[in-house]
Amino acid sequence: MTNENTPAVQKCAALARLQVEPEQVERLAEDFDRILDAFRGLTELDVSGVKPMTGALDLQDIVRADEPRPSLERERLLAPAPKVEDGFFAVPKTVDGDA
């Protein structure tokens, strides 16, 4: 039997670049059921007149002056990288560099 959330689980896994084994999908789909149920409960609340919440902190307009601060030393930045070349991070070739 296939859970109706199976495609959603597979899509989320793909977007998050997670490899999910077929036997895990079924269990995760059931988890999705419970999570989505909880959110469905929220949608039943009457929130008319309540200002949308944009964050958990009661803060606004936190800004800083445009003053330069030291950056990391390059050696330190690059140290954890699996591969480095000429001061660059070297990664497997991505063909379409549009980002």
Partner 1 sequence: MTRVISKQSGQTWFPVIGLEVHCQLRTRTKLFCGCANEFGAEPNTQVCPVCSGQPGALPVMNSRALELALRAAVALDCDVAPWSKFDRKNYFYCDLPKGYQISQFDRPYCTGGGIELASGKRIALTRIHLEDDAGKAIHDRGPDTLVDLNRAGIPLIESVTEPDLTNADEAFEYLTRLKEIFQYIGASDCDMEKGSLRCDVNISVRLEGEELRTKVELKNLNSFRNVKAAIDYEIQRQIEAWENPDETAHPVQETRLYDTNRGVTRTMRAKEDAHDYRYFPDPDLPELHVSAEQLERIRRELPELPAARRARYAEQFELSEYDASVLASEREVADYFELAVRGSGRAKETANWITNELLSARNERGPETKLEELGVSAEALAEMIELIAAGTLSKSAGRKVLAAMIETGKRAGVLVVELGLEQVQDTGQLEEWCRAALVGQDKAIADIRDGQQKAIGALIGQVMKASAGKADPAKAREILLRFVQEHG
Interaction site with partner 1 (CB under 8 A): 11, 14-15, 17, 54-57, 59-72, 74, 77-78, 83, 85-99
Q: How far is the CB of 2 from partner 1 (least distance, A)?
A: 22
Q: Which is nearer to partner 1, 35 or 90 (CB)?
A: 90
Q: How far is the CB of 31 from partner 1 (least distance, A)?
A: 18
| CA neighbours closer than 13 Å in the CB half-sphere of residue 93 | 1
Q: Round to whole Å and give the CA distance between 64 and 26.
A: 48
Q: Which is nearer to partner 1, 30 or 88 (CB)?
A: 88
Q: How far is the CB of 1 from partner 1 (least distance, A)?
A: 27
Q: Which is nearer to partner 1, 2 or 71 (CB)?
A: 71
What is the signed CA dihedral for 32, 37, 42, 44, rounded to 10 degrees?
140
What phi, psi does 85 have (nearest 5°)?
-145, 120
Cβ-in-10-Å burial (0-12, 13-18, 19+) of 9 comes to buried
Q: Which is nearer to partner 1, 27 or 74 (CB)?
A: 74
